[in-house]
């Protein structure tokens, strides 16, 4: 494909910043559609990192993370190439939907194929144009609609030391070690032997300033670790060690009804603790939602209207849950716009 060569040749033009519009299937209105890519080349050669967002079209925190990253002054000293793809699922982004027009999930359609479904074709395009030209990757996600995720890194760290190094460098308070066999971009990239992180933070269709700030800092920290940006002169205030979750489980609604959630995201909970109460609209037939394990709430629903069996609270188990809870608090305090000592370059999104 000529476009593959195009991105490769662009990536070889030192010191240049170039936008490329990758053509993707047009709308049935005949309107042309493209996937926007921004390639930033350092003056010196080095790793080629792709950073992608909105594979799920309604997950918008990552789009803002990439915007801030591209404005960052530290890119001036870049070594290597940054390939930024802020809106991978252009169709879903326009429709404010997780899915593609064919109702498939792009992140379950990798590595895709040239003649497959629409999702398979887009996945294939991304593999050919972006992944084939990259040495490392970071994919940015949020929870699904009405679901909020505590900032966390998901990566296969057990068998991949290079990935583990980057996962630690990112600096999110929690790492979920996961081996995936789900047709995700992460699986396809990993099978190519390319280290890749997935950052999960916040909720679909919402901006979350802490998740965004933490994400920008995390990507920059990974670029420093890779030698793409020079290391910080003074060691950052906290170079916290993230906590690796041993396992995680969802606590589900015991009955349909209206949920009064009692445990916020990031809270430390003990097995058997009441996380919320589900009742009918008359306030009768109350049922308690109890923690099925001790750990930290790393994901939860924000919608109080629940059906029996629905996933309500995601609890991760840790060897040292109290220390993990402290790391979460420190992370939230560090990126909280209200506790900022230095004025930000632009106003925070609230």
Chain positions contacting Zn ion, by CB under 5 A:
56, 59, 141
CB of 109 to Zn ion, least distance (A): 13
CB of 108 to Zn ion, least distance (A): 11
Q: Which is nearer to Zn ion, 84 or 226 (CB)?
A: 84
Q: Residue 149 and residue 169: Cα distance in Å, rounded?
A: 20
Q: DSSP letter at 240? A: P
Q: Residue 64 and residue 207: Cα distance in Å, rounded?
A: 8
Task: Using DSSP, state whether 330 is helix, strand or coil.
Answer: helix
Q: Which is nearer to Zn ion, 124 or 141 (CB)?
A: 141
Q: Which is nearer to Zn ion, 148 or 334 (CB)?
A: 148
CB of 58 to Zn ion, least distance (A): 9
User: How many Cα atoms occupy the beta-carbon half-sphere of 199 within 13 Å?
Assistant: 35
Backbone dihedral angles phi then psi of residue 142, each to the nearest 5 degrees = -135, 180
CB of 323 to Zn ion, least distance (A): 28
Q: Which is nearer to Zn ion, 59 or 209 (CB)?
A: 59
CB of 347 to Zn ion, least distance (A): 27
Q: Which is nearer to Zn ion, 59 or 164 (CB)?
A: 59
Backbone dihedral angles phi then psi of residue 321, each to the nearest 5 degrees = -60, -30
* Helix ranges (DSSP H) in the chain: 2-10, 61-71, 90-95, 118-129, 161-170, 185-191, 209-225, 321-335
Q: Which is nearer to Zn ion, 56 or 217 (CB)?
A: 56
CB of 59 to Zn ion, least distance (A): 5
Closest CA to 3 of 26, 28, 22: 22
Task: Using DSSP, state whether 305 is helix, strand or coil.
Answer: strand
């Amino acid at each position: 494909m000529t476009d593959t060569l195009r991105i490769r040749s662009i990536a070889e033009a030192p010191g240049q910043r170039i936008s490329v519009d990758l053509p993707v299937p047009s709308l049935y209105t005949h309107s042309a559609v493209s996937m926007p890519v921004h390639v930033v080349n350092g003056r010196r050669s080095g790793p080629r990192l792709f950073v992608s967002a909105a594979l799920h079209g309604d997950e918008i925190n990552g789009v803002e993370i990439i915007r801030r990253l591209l404005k960052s002054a530290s890119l001036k000293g870049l070594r290597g190439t940054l390939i930024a793809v802020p809106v991978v699922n252009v169709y879903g982004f326009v429709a404010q939907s997780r899915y593609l027009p064919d109702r498939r999930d792009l992140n379950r359609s990798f590595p895709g194929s040239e003649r497959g479904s629409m999702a398979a074709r887009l996945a294939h395009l991304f593999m050919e144009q972006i992944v084939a030209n990259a040495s490392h990757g970071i994919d940015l996600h949020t929870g699904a609609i009405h679901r909020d995720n505590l900032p966390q890194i998901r990566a296969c760290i057990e068998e991949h030391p290079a990935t583990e190094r980057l996962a630690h460098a990112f600096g999110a308070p929690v790492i979920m070690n996961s081996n995936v066999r789900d047709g995700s971009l992460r699986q396809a990239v990993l099978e190519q032997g390319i280290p890749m992180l997935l950052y999960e933070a916040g909720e679909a269709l919402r901006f979350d300033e802490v998740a965004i700030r933490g994400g920008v800092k995390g990507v920059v920290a990974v670029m420093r670790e890779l030698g793409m940006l020079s290391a910080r002169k003074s060691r950052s205030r906290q170079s916290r060690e993230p906590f690796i979750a041993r396992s995680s489980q969802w606590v589900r609604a015991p009955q349909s009804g209206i949920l009064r959630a009692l445990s916020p995201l990031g809270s430390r909970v003990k097995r058997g603790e009441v996380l919320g109460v589900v009742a009918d609209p008359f306030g009768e037939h109350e049922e308690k939602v109890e923690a099925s394990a001790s750990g930290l709430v790393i994901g939860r629903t924000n919608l109080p209207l629940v059906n029996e069996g629905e996933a309500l609270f995601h609890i991760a188990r840790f060897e040292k849950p109290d220390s993990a809870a402290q790391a979460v608090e420190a992370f939230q305090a560090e990126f909280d716009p209200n506790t900022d000592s230095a004025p930000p370059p632009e106003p925070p999104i609230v």
